[in-house]
Structures are given as C-alpha cells and as structure tokens.
C-alpha cells in the first residue's frame, strides 16, 4: 500500500480539502463524504459553536473517520496563530494544525518570518505543524529542521486558480525534503493537481477549485482521481526530458 505518512498517521488518500467558500454546509458535507479526504482543514475564525446549526466545525465532527485540521487563517502575527492553534487543539482533540499567516489581504501570501516563529514554538509543544508557505526551498528546509511534519508550499496565491505557477520551485522542494510536501492553494483544475503529484508532492490540498465549481462533489472526485493518477505516475518513474531526438545523438565511434 502506498500510504501517505504524516507524523505517526497514515492515510490511504492523498487529497486534502478545505471548507471555505461553499454556498451551504450541506454541499460542503456531501463533498467531504464523497471523497473522504486525508485531512480536512477548517478556519478557526469561522467556528461558531454558539450556533450549532450553522457551524461547519460541528457539522464536520459528525462525519465518521475524518480528521479535522484546524487552520489559523485570518491571523496576521505569530502570536495570533499561536493562540488559535491552542483553541483548535481544544476543539478538535487532534495534534494537527495548519499554520496560515497572511497579513496582506490582497494576495494572502504567507508571512515567512511570523510563520517560522510560531512553528518553532508549536513543534516544541508537540503539535503536528503544517505550515502554508511560499515555494521557498530554504524556508522549507528550516521548517523541516525545527520539526514540522509537513510543509505546504503554494502553487499560486490562494483562490486565484492560476495553477502551478511555482512549478520549478515545488520541484526543488520535493527533491530535497524528507517530510511530505503538500501543494496547497492556487490550483484550478485536476490536471494541475496531477502535475504537482508527478513532481513528487506527497499530497494536494484544494478548496476554491472544488467549492466554487458548479458541481463540487463531482469536482472533488475528479481531483481525487487526478491526485491518484499523478502519484502513480511519479511512483512508476517518469522518463527524463531530452531536448533532441535519440537518433541524432552524437556519433561516439571514435571512442571505441
């Protein structure tokens, strides 16, 4: 079995889902049930347990066999993310936390400095920390060194649907890191998820492309299949690219 291993957890799927932007809780729940993702991330700022009928967190907790990964979206500093991580742990009872710190609302790009600082603190406290980062190899390595269980580099800005803009940088990260690299944010279509998996990503997290699709359930299934296809291709061994036809290789008879 080709299992996804994060911390001491094993998953038989490599698709992770977000829960924002859906038109209703019902559609979000049906989508989650349809693909049973490895982890489901929920923004803690949206959790509204005072109004259980309208709370996405409570609705998700009622689904069997899924693990919730609270995220710190909305946080602009390490301190805010730290506090949210602890609230998330209380609520979910899990060690997983997805660190998202984006002070700039326009592109929602992650703040590398604040992210690193909070990850350092949380890993020491035993959290399974999964930071959302720019596709930055050095930062990814630093985060691996301090004990993050995964890194989540972006394909493109959150929600932008611009696809794998960071292709070559994702390749560097997947080549060099020992922890699972989960490509997060910016994907538009399943083919891009497959491409990221072919680069050696361990998994994909997708939200907008599914939630805003005309048929989220069908789109989630399509992503699930693409992720599987990409993974199988990666495992099978993808041929190297050559810039010329084989037949035109130089004649090396003189070496004989």
Partner 1 sequence: MKITLKKFKQLIEDNDFSYLDELAFEARLITEKYFGKNIDIYIPVYISNFCTNDCIYCNFSINNNKIKRQRLTLNEIEKEFIILKNKGFKEILILSGGDEKDFELVLNSVLRAKKYFDKIGIEIFSCSLEQYKKLKAAGVAYVTIYQECYNKKIYNSIHRSGNKSNYYFRYNSPARVLKAGIRGIGMGVLYGISDPISETIALAEHISYLRKIYWDRDFSISFPRIRDRKTDYYIPDKLLAKIIFLFRLLFNDITLNLSTRESSKFRDGMLGLGINKISAESSTKVGGYLKKQSGQDQFLISDTRNLKAIKQTLKNKGYFPVLKDYSAVFN
Q: How far is CA 55 from CA 52, 62, 144, in A?
A: 5, 11, 34
Residues 6+ positions from 49 with CB-CB distance below 8 Å: 55, 57, 58, 91
Q: Is 80 in the site for partner 1 (CB under 8 A)?
A: yes
Q: How many residues bind partner 1 (CB under 8 A)?
A: 31
36 is catalytic: no
> Whole-angstrom Cα distance, residue 46 to residue 25?
12
Q: Is 106 in the site for partner 1 (CB under 8 A)?
A: yes
Q: Is 215 in the site for partner 1 (CB under 8 A)?
A: no
105 or 243: CB nearest partner 1? 105
Beta bridge partners of 151: 181
> Whole-angstrom Cα distance, residue 101 to residue 72?
7
Site string for partner 1, 150-189 (x = CB under 8 A): ---------xxx----------------------------
> Whole-angstrom Cα distance, residue 200 to residue 61?
31
Which range touches partner 1 (CB under 8 A), out of 130-138, 187-195, 206-214, 233-241? Answer: 206-214
> Could you list the residues that contact partner 1 (CB under 8 A)?
20-25, 44-48, 50-51, 54, 74-76, 80, 83-84, 87, 103-106, 159-161, 208, 211-212
């Amino acid at each position: 079995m080709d299992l996804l291993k994060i911390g001491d957890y094993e998953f038989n799927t490599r698709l992770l889902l977000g829960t924002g932007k859906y038109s209703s809780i019902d559609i979000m729940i049906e989508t989650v049930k349809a693909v049973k993702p490895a982890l489901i991330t929920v923004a803690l700022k949206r959790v509204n347990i005072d109004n259980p009928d309208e709370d996405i967190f409570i609705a998700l907790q009622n689904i069997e066999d899924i693990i919730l990964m609270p995220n710190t979206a909305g946080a602009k500093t390490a301190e805010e993310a730290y506090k949210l991580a602890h609230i998330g742990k209380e609520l979910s009872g899990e060690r997983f936390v997805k660190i998202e710190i984006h002070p700039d609302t326009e592109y929602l790009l992650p703040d590398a400095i604040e992210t690193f600082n909070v990850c350092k603190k949380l890993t020491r406290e035993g959290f399974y920390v999964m930071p959302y980062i720019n596709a930055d190899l050095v930062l990814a390595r630093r985060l691996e060194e301090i004990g993050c269980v995964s890194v989540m580099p972006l394909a493109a800005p959150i929600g932008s649907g611009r696809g794998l803009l960071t292709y070559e940088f994702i390749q560097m990260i997947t080549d060099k890191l020992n922890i699972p690299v989960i490509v997060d944010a910016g994907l538009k279509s399943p083919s891009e998820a497959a491409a990221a998996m072919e680069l050696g990503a361990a998994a994909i997290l997708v939200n907008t492309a599914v939630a805003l699709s005309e048929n989220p359930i069908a789109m989630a299934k399509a992503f699930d299949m693409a992720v599987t296809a990409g993974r199988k291709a990666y495992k099978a061994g993808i041929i190297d690219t050559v810039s010329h036809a084989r037949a035109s290789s130089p004649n090396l008879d003189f070496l004989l």
